[in-house]
């Protein structure tokens, strides 16, 4: 979904139970139902706690500083936590919160900011948040808005934001600059743009076009994506479907052949299959590219640590050599294989997705706090001497023990549960949520942690990223919530698809 944690931080049943469990008796089904309702309620309590702290100490700024009860404006000061919380508040049925956010969005001036704008972060959090709110409030949550005019304003504001940002694509190739100055219409002078930040725009920008009837946004994002779908030179695609990490902005050619599913590359692969879910007619090529990447990943990138051959993670590859390390960010991978597997009816992808889910669960359940680290390795030649015992038991050593409220592990538990209907994945999501609530919670919200393998998670880092609201709270909730139109479904029956910030947008029916 995004770039790795900053160094400074590092330093410091759908299928319904009945189908999936044909042998369990009725009472047990009912027992589980009320149990999952209680868990869903407990997640709502945590969301409300964080929302109240944000409103009290930080609103209308971007994020709460949950230790000092201060605030930050890391996302241009447009109220990132409010906009990122909208789709979760809708899904949780929190009418007051929803109406507060609708009111907020109507007042934002997206043409003004003091700081550099990230095209990627702005797209996935603000644009995705508003488009999702619009789709939900025009559809399954239609009765929540007190002032229906403010729902229309969501789309107006999404278009305003798109119009502010679109000059970023005005380059020699159409590959955008990521870091832009919206006042001067300038940029940071980069010669290359990253794979994920280039390839994680197309869902939101296409949705904006499909809702407004103005094709420009879709065209711009799909033109940029075209270089990723037809990678040049051939050295940029060392295995079919797996491509390099950086693209020259002037020419659209890749500048390297470094291959991974880690931060910086991750959501490019995520969006290939999600675009097919969004519209299988227009995005068949995207699906073909995802299938190639998935097959190559199973063949070339899957790795099993020496002490724990039962575990599976993805290595990265560059010029003939492999790096045996992975990241919390990478753990969206299980969910991606599960979504692709169910949509394309490929049991091999589902099975491999579950192996990845198990590998990520192992990074959680091996630590003292039961929360997984931001990054880890399993190269037997590089085990730090003070982690030898841990490595022999857990199968990995920790390279960054931080936890910055990332969602990817719980996200993949969610896909595993929706696709298989197996309760174990709900249990794992619950364990993770309980651990986060027990370790990261402060009097006003949730803080990042410096070391998940230290008592109490080490020290608390004074920041609460907006994606706590959009992602951690949402996936923790919907895995226990009842079936609904916006939930992930098995097979090809999805009515919504989640952007990389967990904002569900309505798929295009053809
Ligand atoms: C953006 O450009 C304006 C106008 O040239 C300038 O005043 C401002 O400092 C720039 N902002 C940033 C964050 O560089
Ligand atoms: C810990 O993770 C492993 C690997 O996924 C799994 O087999 C095991 O059941 C998990 N243990 C617990 C207590 O959840
Ligand atoms: C979360 O933490 C709060 C405060 O300690 C506690 O009251 C609540 O029961 C916890 N929720 C869960 C599910 O552990």
What are 261-284's pLDDT values in tens digits? 999 999 999 999 999 999 999 999
> How many Å lie between the centroid of ligand 2 and the Cα of residue 35?
21
> Would you state the pLDDT for residue 2?
56
> Would you state the pLDDT for residue 492?
81
Tell the residue nearest (CA) to atom 10 of ligand 1.
Answer: 181
| Residue 416 near ligand 2, beta carbon < 6 Å | no
For residue 123, pLDDT beyond 80: yes
Atom of ligand 3 nearest to the CA of 433: 13
Measured CA to CA in angstroms, residue 454 lies from 360, 369, 371 at distances of: 19, 7, 11
Mean pLDDT across 420-436: 98
Residue 257: partners with Cβ closer than 8 Å, 6 or more residues away: 235, 236, 237, 238, 243, 244, 318, 319
Tell the residue nearest (CA) to atom 1 of ligand 3.
Answer: 437
> Would you state the pLDDT for residue 34?
82
| Residue 387 near ligand 1, beta carbon < 6 Å | no
Measured CA to CA in angstroms, residue 32 lies from 222, 331, 473 at distances of: 45, 27, 21
For residue 22, pLDDT beyond 90: no
* 119: preceding bond cis by omega (within 30 degrees): no
Atom of ligand 1 nearest to the CA of 181: 1
Atom of ligand 3 nearest to the CA of 43: 13
**Kind of pairing between the strands at 375-377 and 325-327:** antiparallel
Atom of ligand 3 nearest to the CA of 39: 13
Alpha-carbon span 285 to 233, nearest angstrom: 19
Q: State the ligand closest to the CA atom of 46.
A: 3
| Residue 347 near ligand 1, beta carbon < 6 Å | no
Mean pLDDT across 28-57: 91
Mean pLDDT across 320-348: 98
Q: And the tokens for 191?
A: 């010669």
Q: State the ligand closest to the CA atom of 112.
A: 1
* Catalytic residue of the set 109, 374, 451, 483: 374
For residue 19, pLDDT beyond 50: no
Alpha-carbon span 303 to 300, nearest angstrom: 9
What percent of the chain has a predicted confidence (pLDDT) above 90?
93
Substitution candidate for ligand 1 out of 73, 184, 188, 189 with most atoms within 8 A of CB: 184
Atom of ligand 2 nearest to the CA of 365: 1
**188 classed as catalytic:** no
Q: State the ligand closest to the CA atom of 433.
A: 3
| Residue 370 near ligand 2, beta carbon < 6 Å | no
Specify which residues 471 forms β-bridges with: none
Mean pLDDT across 308-317: 98
**Ligand 3 environment, Cβ below 6 A:** 42, 46, 434, 437, 441
| Residue 361 near ligand 2, beta carbon < 6 Å | yes
> How many Å lie between the centroid of ligand 3 and the Cα of residue 426?
18
State how far Cα 359 lies from the chain centre. 18
Q: Comparing 22-31, 124-133, 285-294, 491-500, which segment has the lowest mean pLDDT?
A: 22-31
> How many Å lie between the centroid of ligand 3 and the Cα of residue 456?
15
Tell the residue nearest (CA) to atom 2 of ligand 3.
Answer: 437
Question: Is residue 352 classed as helix, strand or coil in its secondary structure?
Answer: helix
> Would you state the pLDDT for residue 30?
60
Q: State the ligand closest to the CA atom of 370.
A: 2
For residue 5, pLDDT beyond 60: no
Query: Containing H/E element for 445?
Result: none
> Would you state the pLDDT for residue 327?
98
Mean pLDDT across 469-477: 99
Alpha-carbon span 448 to 65, nearest angstrom: 10
Sequence length of the chain is 510
Q: Comparing 2-6, 434-438, 501-505, which segment has the lowest mean pLDDT?
A: 2-6
Alpha-carbon span 78 to 335, nearest angstrom: 30
For residue 8, pLDDT beyond 90: no
312 is in an annotated binding site: no
Question: Which contacts (CB < 8 Å, 24+ apart) does range 106-114 have?
Answer: 106/150, 106/153, 106/157, 108/78, 108/79, 108/83, 108/157, 110/78, 110/157, 110/160, 110/161, 110/164, 111/160, 111/164, 111/182, 113/76, 113/77, 113/78, 113/182, 113/183, 114/76, 114/77
> Would you state the pLDDT for residue 13?
26
Going through 435-498 in order, the beta strands assigned E by DSSP cover 448-449, 460-461, 496-498
Q: pTM for the whole thing?
A: 0.95
pLDDT in tens, 137-180: 999 999 999 999 999 999 999 999 999 999 999 999 999 999 99
> Would you state the pLDDT for residue 509?
77
Mean pLDDT across 400-419: 98
**Kind of pairing between the strands at 316-318 and 321-323:** antiparallel
For residue 318, pLDDT beyond 80: yes
pLDDT category of residue 10 using cuts at 50, 70 and 90: very low
| Residue 191 near ligand 1, beta carbon < 6 Å | no
| Residue 112 near ligand 1, beta carbon < 6 Å | no
**Would you say 128 and 201 are in contact if contact means Cβ atoms under 8 Å apart?**
no
The answer to whether the Cα torsion of 490, 34, 143, 57 is positive or negative is negative
Measured CA to CA in angstroms, residue 225 lies from 94, 201, 252, 378 at distances of: 37, 9, 10, 33
Specify which residues 449 forms β-bridges with: 403, 460
**Helix boundaries (H) for 58-123:** 80-91, 95-107, 119-121
| Residue 355 near ligand 2, beta carbon < 6 Å | no
**Would you say 399 and 330 are in contact if contact means Cβ atoms under 8 Å apart?**
no
Three-state SS sequence of 268-311: HHHHHHHHHHHCCCCCHHHHHHHHHHHHHHHHHHEECCCCCCCC
> Would you state the pLDDT for residue 17?
33
């Amino acid at each position: 979904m995004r770039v790795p944690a900053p160094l400074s931080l590092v330093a410091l049943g759908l299928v319904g139970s009945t189908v999936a469990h044909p042998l369990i008796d009725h009472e047990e089904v009912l027992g589980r139902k009320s149990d999952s309702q209680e868990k869903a309620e407990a997640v709502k309590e945590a969301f409300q706690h964080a929302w109240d702290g944000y409103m009290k100490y930080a609103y209308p700024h971007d994020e709460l500083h949950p230790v000092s009860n201060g605030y930050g404006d890391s996302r241009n000061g447009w109220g990132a936590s409010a906009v990122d919380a909208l789709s979760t508040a809708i899904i949780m049925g929190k009418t007051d919160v929803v109406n507060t956010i609708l009111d907020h969005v109507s007042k934002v001036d997206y043409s003004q900011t003091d700081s550099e704008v990230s095209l990627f972060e702005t797209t996935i959090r603000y644009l995705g948040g508003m488009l999702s709110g619009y789709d939900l409030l025009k559809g399954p949550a239609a009765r929540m808005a007190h002032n229906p005019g403010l729902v229309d304003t969501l789309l107006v504001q999404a278009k305003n934001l798109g119009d502010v940002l679109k000059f970023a694509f005005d380059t020699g190739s159409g590959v955008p600059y990521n870091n832009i100055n919206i006042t001067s219409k300038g940029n940071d002078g980069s010669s290359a743009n990253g794979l994920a930040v280039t390839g994680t725009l197309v869902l939101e920008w296409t949705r904006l076009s499909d809702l407004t009837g103005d094709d420009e946004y879709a065209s711009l994002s799909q033109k940029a994506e075209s270089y990723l779908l037809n990678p040049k030179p051939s050295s940029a695609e060392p295995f079919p479907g797996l491509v390099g990490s950086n693209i020259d902005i002037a020419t659209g050619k890749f500048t390297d052949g470094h291959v991974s599913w880690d931060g910086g590359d991750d959501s490019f692969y995520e969006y290939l299959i999600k675009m097919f879910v969004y519209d299988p007619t227009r995005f068949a090529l995207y699906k073909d590219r995802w299938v190639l990447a998935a097959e190559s990943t199973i063949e070339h990138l899957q790795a099993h640590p020496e002490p724990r051959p039962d575990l599976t993670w993805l290595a990265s590859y560059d010029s003939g050599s492999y790096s045996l390390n992975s990241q919390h960010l990478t753990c969206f991978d299980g969910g991606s294989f599960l979504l692709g597997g169910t949509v394309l009816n490929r049991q091999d992808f589902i099975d491999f997705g579950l192996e990845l889910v198990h590998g990520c669960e192992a990074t959680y359940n091996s630590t003292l706090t039961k929360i997984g680290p931001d990054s880890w390795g399993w190269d037997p030649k590089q085990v730090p001497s003070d982690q030898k015992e841990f490595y022999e038991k857990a199968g990995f050593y920790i390279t960054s023990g931080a936890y910055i409220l990332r969602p990817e592990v719980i996200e993949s538990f969610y896909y595993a549960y929706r696709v298989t209907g197996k309760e174990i994945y709900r249990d794992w999501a619950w364990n993770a949520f309980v651990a986060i609530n027990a370790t990261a919670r402060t009097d006003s919200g949730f803080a990042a942690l410096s070391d998940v393998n230290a008592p109490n998670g080490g020290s608390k880092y004074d920041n609460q990223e907006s994606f706590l609201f959009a992602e951690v709270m949402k996936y923790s909730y919907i895995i226990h919530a009842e079936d609904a139109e916006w939930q992930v479904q098995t097979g090809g029956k999805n009515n919504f698809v989640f952007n990389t910030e967990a904002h569900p947008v309505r798929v295009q029916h053809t």
